[in-house]
Structure 1
Amino acid sequence: MSYKSFRHGISWLLVGIVLGGALVIGIDHFVTLPHERAAQQVKNNQQSNQQRAENRLQKNKERQKKPVADPYAKNVASQLTPVQTQLIKKLLTTNKVIGTLLVVKNNKVIWQQGFGYADAAAQRGNNAASLYQIGSIQKSLTATLFVKDLIDTGKVKYNDPVAKYYPTIPHGHQITIRDMLDMVSGIYHTDLADKVMTDQEIVNWSAKHLTVKPENIGLFSYQPINFTLLTGILEKETGQNYQDLLDQQLLTPLNLVHTGFVQAMGDEKHRTYSYKDGTTYQRYPDESQVEISRELGTGNLYASAGDLFRMEQGIIQGKIISKKRLAELRNTTNGSYRGGAYCFKTYVNGHGVEAGYDAGYALAKDGRSGVVLLANTYPKQTTSKLATQIAQMVLHI
């Protein structure tokens, strides 16, 4: 073999080595790394949502330093009649409520008191500052955001078929956005995510792990998956994270400095622990990160009683969406579920249950008067029923 031929052969050998190495790297990049990237994306997203929750907490702490008069920040002795006061205390005792009661009449706090312990081990009692998970009451906030960002802007219409956004959902052309907001879609979960996921992964999981009962389309059935899917549309159409939207467009404008995301609740000095009962104070299991991550748009907030009153009041009084839009969203007076609330002729109420917490409220249609009852245990009757009874008894709503 000539020297020239030998050199030519060596050159091609080197080219082959380089190309082979590149091929191996490419295969590794497109086969192995996507799994690593997916795992890292989950981690990054959770860190991001965790960081958002921590950022919200820090903002709250800074805002709380400002000398702003807050009528909901302290306990207020009952200004009801002695008979009314004793009747309500008996009602709460009979139902084994531990938590915080807030009664507001014509924008004035006429009673705010804590019952039982926020932290039994530390002998720290519940009071006006105590913080509770509010569970599904959050759906009323999600629905309000959906109207503000998508319905109001014309990006989405109430009568849009779900198939427009989730083509694989069975009978998706028969189910509308309105159906999902009113929980009459006939959509049911078939399984729950068993690992921590990103927002998009939770939405994708939900869209794949569901069934539709066509005979139930148009019939009420309380299924949180409706709001998970609605939140997916909200994030996709706005291009923004749900936590950011809620923080920027609802919590901050209403100056709710005692409200945050559950990921950061453990760092709050006024946090409560949930208990199986208010006698032995046996702790209820803490919510796992898996459970928190799958509550996208449906139940990952905590709040004080005063903040819960103000957020629902703000929605009712047109501070987030117009009263006209709210009337469209909550277009019934027979107590049916509309956009995260049960709507009656003279009042609305809401209810949330999560991880040993039970939250309820009943507010007059003008938002000036109402009752909030937050519990860190499960009472015999739900807090929403108790709040409604109290509101009807003393506020006549």
Structure 2
Amino acid sequence: MVGLLMVGIGAAHEKTYAAYNSVLQTSNKHYDAQIVNQTTPTKGYNLYTDGPYYTSSSTRTADDNGYHYNNNFVRVMQTKQTKTGTYAKLRYFNKMLGWMNVHGIKSVSFNTIANSMMKQYNVMGTAVLASAGATNTATVSNGLANVTKNVLNAGDGSVVYPLASLQKAMTGAIVQQLISAGQLSATTPLSKYYPAVPYSQSITVGELLSMTSGIDNTDVTPSSQLTENQAYASMVKQLKSTGQNTYNYSDANFVLLAGIIAKVTGQSYTQNLKTRIFNKVGMKNTFVINSKQPATKATIATGYTYDGKNNYQDADTASLARLSAIPGAGNLLSTPNDFYKFIQGLQNGQILTASQFQQLTSYGSYYSGGLYVTKSGYKYNNGSFGGSSFHTSYYARNDNYHMAIVFMNQYPLAGSSSAKAFTQKMYDVATYY
């Protein structure tokens, strides 16, 4: 009798299992999508954590509803077809939402997601994202570069932006080239090239690279654009050297490094930029600001402020005289696409080898060679001009597989987001979509 009961129980289990929907077809193709038309819970499609609807005991009832994610962008990780419909496994950034009937989503492009993020935070400018290295990049722009002339922001080189402090990595890379070639050393004292700087005998090239020289300066806007040599002389005259070898962010460190590059090579810093970086990686839309006007017909983006309600307030034209005063630290106009080429060249041998890049980022534990180095495996930096609305920022994995570069010409952003935080959000888009 016990044996009969056991057989009966087994048969019942087998019958229940057979009643579940079987998977008829599976696709492992990934694509980007948007959850749509789910404006109320009753209109929302159910989400099932463990698989398509009714394919197991745990998928008989829903775990969530698409209504909670309406209009959000997702990544389809897998698709399965059953007799009741086709279901997609959805990931929202790094969170798995579950399985939803495909009638609740529509396919979208990577560019659409990136552009939507810019609109959500009211970012005016241009961004470049890499979601799978150089094989999958997107360039997106939003808003106007010049309201008066009705010129749209663009990533094709027709609009250029002040590169600001992102330039410092270029200066650092050239210094690293000279160190690797034995023409300079991280322990070389500043006094060898600029003995007039107080405490220069106890300040090294490595400390300039890591912003631990104890040197500080204030931003100045000269009455006219300066030559490189005039800019170096002006900086030496107005900087303050404290003798305290602790971290202090200052443009003066990299202006002095630009001057050292010129002294070591016997060529101007500008010429070194062109031969060692621009020409090597094909940066055709990047221009040096010195005593001469930049040789470009591109629109130089105008900066604006956002007052919480209205865009394009307080028009702010980039001061070329101010840029000319800081060679090596922020005297370039460029585009996100050109800067992307530079970032790639930092480690692929075009500018530096991987080992040279590792050395460049080893001179300080917080900042080194024009990059922040506080996150292992990542490189990032942010640039701005005090009192202006221009912000540049990038965040990248060290192997450049995921990357976000954002140049903005309006600030602040919606939602009280900082430029740095927004760029990291764009990096998340590049990572998960």
SS of equivalent residue, structure 2 residue 256: helix
Structure 1 residue 158 displacement after superposition: 0.2
How many angstroms apart in 1 are the aligned matches of 2:32 and 2:167?
A: 30
The corresponding residue for 2:153 is 126
- C-alpha change, 1:276 and 1:242, in structure 2 (3 Å) is same
Match of 1:348 among 372, 379, 385: 379
SS in 2 for 1:384: helix
1:379 aligns with 2:409: no
Amino acid of the residue matched to residue 366 of structure 1? D
User: Measured at CA, do residues 258 and 382 of structure 1 come closer, stay the same or move farther in structure 2, by a change above 3 Å?
Assistant: farther
Deviation at 1:324, TM superposition (A): 1.5
Flag the structure with more relative contact order, 1 or 2, with Cα contacts below 8 A and sequence separation at least 6: 1
Shift of 1:156: 1.5
Contact 2:402 2:431 in 1 (8 A): yes
What residue in structure 2 maps to residue 207 of structure 1? 236
Equivalent residue, structure 1, for 2:313: 282
8 Å contact 2:210–2:363 — kept in the other structure?
A: no
Report the secondary structure of 1:246's partner residue: helix
Give 1:138 deviation, angstroms: 0.5
User: Aligned pair 1:184/2:212, yes or no?
Assistant: yes
Report the counterpart of residue 368 of structure 2 in structure 1: 338
Tell me if the contact between 1:193 and 1:205 (Cα under 8 Å) persists in the aligned partners. Answer: no
Identity %: 23
Amino acid at match of 2:420: S
Alpha-carbon distance in 2 for matches of 1:284, 1:144: 34
1:171 to 179, 199, 203: 199
Residue 388 (structure 1) aligns with:
424
Aligned to 1:300: 331
Whether the 8 Å CA contact 1:265–1:271 is kept in 2: the answer is no
In 2, the alpha carbon distance for the partners of 1:224 and 1:250 equals: 21
Deviations 1:180-232 (A, max 9, x none): 01111111126746344332232122223222223x31x22110000111111
Conservation of the 8 A alpha-carbon contact between 1:144 and 1:315: yes
Structure showing the higher strand proportion among its residues = 2
* 1:146 has 2:175 as partner: yes
Number of positions where the alignment pairs a residue of Structure 1 with one of Structure 2: 315
One-letter amino acid of the counterpart of residue 283, structure 2: L
CA–CA separation in structure 1 for the residues paired with 2:407 and 2:239: 32
Which residue pairs with 1:112 in the alignment?
139
SS in 1 for 2:302: coil
Contact 2:380 2:395 (8 Å CA) reproduced:
yes
Of stretches 380-389 and 199-208 in structure 1, the one that deviates more from structure 2 is 380-389
Farther-moved stretch of structure 1 (279-288 vs 230-239): 279-288
Aligned to 1:6: none
TM-score, normalised with respect to structure 1: 0.71
Cα distance in 2 between the residues matched to 1:167 and 1:333: 24
Secondary structure in structure 1 of the residue aligned to 2:317: coil
1:51-90 deviation digits (Å, cap 9, x = unpaired): xxxxxxxxxxxxxxxxxxxxxxxxxxxx744334798667
- Measured after TM superposition, the shift of residue 94 of structure 1 is 5.5
Q: Which moved more, 1:341-350 or 1:221-230?
A: 341-350
Alpha-carbon distance between aligned partners in 2 of 1:377 and 1:95, rounded to the nearest angstrom: 11
Deviation of residue 295 (structure 1)?
1.8
| Alignment TM-score, normalising by the size of structure 2 | 0.66
Equivalent of 1:251 in 278, 287, 292: 278
1:342-385 Cα deviation digits (max 9, x unpaired): 12212111211135321111111112331111111223444333
Question: What residue in structure 2 maps to residue 39 of structure 1?
Answer: none
- Maintained 8 Å contact 1:317/1:366: no
Residue number among 147, 158, 165 corresponding to 2:186 in the alignment: 158
Structure 1 residue 104: deviation in Å?
A: 1.0
Name whichever of 356-365 and 115-124 sits farther off: 115-124
User: Separation in 1 of the partners of 2:33 and 2:249?
Assistant: 38
Q: C-alpha deviations, 1:5-48, integer Å up to 9, x for none?
A: xxxxxxxxxxxxxxxxxxxxxxxxxxxxxxxxxxxxxxxxxxxx
Q: Which moved more, 1:105-114 or 1:265-274?
A: 265-274
Q: Which has the larger radius of gyration?
A: 2
Moved more, 228-237 or 83-92: 83-92
Letter in 1 for 2:401: R
1:232–1:265: structure 2 CA closer, same or farther, 3 Å change rule?
Answer: closer
2:58 maps to which residue? none
Equivalent-residue separation in structure 1 for 2:218 and 2:162 (angstroms): 26
Q: CA, structure 1 residues 352+87, in 2 after alignment: closer, same or farther (shift >3 Å)?
A: same
CA–CA distance in structure 1, aligned partners of residues 296 and 306 of structure 2:
24
CA distance in 2, matches of 1:342, 1:156: 23
Q: Which runs of 5+ in 2 are unaligned?
A: 1-30, 35-71, 74-109
- In the alignment, structure 1 residue 96 sits paired with structure 2 residue 122: yes
After TM superposition, the structure 1 = structure 2 runs for residues 298-337 of structure 1, keeping only pairs within 5 Å, are 298-331=329-362, 336-337=366-367
Q: What's the CA shift string for 1:242-267, capped at 9, x where partnerless?
A: 11111111101111122222465584
Match of 1:235, SS state, is helix
Aligned CA distance change for structure 1 residues 162 and 193 (closer, same or farther; 3 Å) = farther
- Are residues 140 and 97 of structure 1, via their aligned partners in 2, closer, same or farther at CA, if it must alter by over 3 Å? same
CA 1:299–1:382: 2 relative to 1, 3 Å: farther
In 2, distance between residues paired with 1:80 and 1:251?
Answer: 35
